[in-house]
């Protein structure tokens, strides 16, 4: 999906009825692994709060993720599969995220560095922020 108007809209909370979207998103991330490390559901045309992140060779789905803590702001540049070019943005070195996993179990995890940056980028997508 490269439609900026669609990507600029906020996503809706996901429910268990959206399980197929989780599967499709993980499959799409796997198919694009050569040039993509994270993906939000709106990038495959579904306006639901679901992201998939490559975490060291394993793709992890996060359903309705919420970043509850962040520290260590820094400036960086990012690219996006949905856009051409590179853009400047502010990210945080350490974050804490609450979400449901692909089996609908509640999770609360801490992430840092590159994985934290990917999660922040994909969560921006859910809020209609295109970097």
Residues marked as catalytic: 122
What span, in angstroms and rounded, lies between the C-alpha atoms of 23 and 102? 9
In the chain, where do the E strands start and end? 38-40, 50-55, 58-79, 86-100, 106-112
* Interstrand relation of 38-40 and 86-100 (parallel, antiparallel or unpaired): unpaired
Residue 18 Cα distances to 12, 13, 22, 23, 80, angstroms: 11, 10, 7, 9, 24
What span, in angstroms and rounded, lies between the C-alpha atoms of 73 and 92? 4
Query: Is residue 71 within 8 Å of residue 92, measured between CB atoms?
Result: yes
């Amino acid at each position: 999906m490269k439609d900026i108007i669609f990507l600029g809209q906020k996503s809706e909370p996901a429910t268990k009825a959206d399980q197929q979207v989780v599967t499709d998103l993980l499959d799409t991330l796997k198919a694009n692994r050569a040039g993509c490390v994270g993906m939000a559901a709106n990038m495959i045309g579904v306006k639901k709060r679901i992201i998939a992140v490559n975490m060291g060779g394993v793709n992890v789905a996060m359903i309705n993720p919420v970043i509850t803590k962040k520290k260590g702001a820094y400036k960086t540049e990012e690219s996006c599969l949905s856009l051409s070019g590179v853009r400047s943005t502010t990210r945080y070195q350490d974050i804490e995220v609450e979400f449901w996993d692909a089996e609908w179990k509640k999770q609360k995890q801490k992430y840092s560095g590159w994985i934290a940056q990917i999660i922040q980028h994909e969560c921006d997508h859910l809020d209609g922020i295109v970097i």
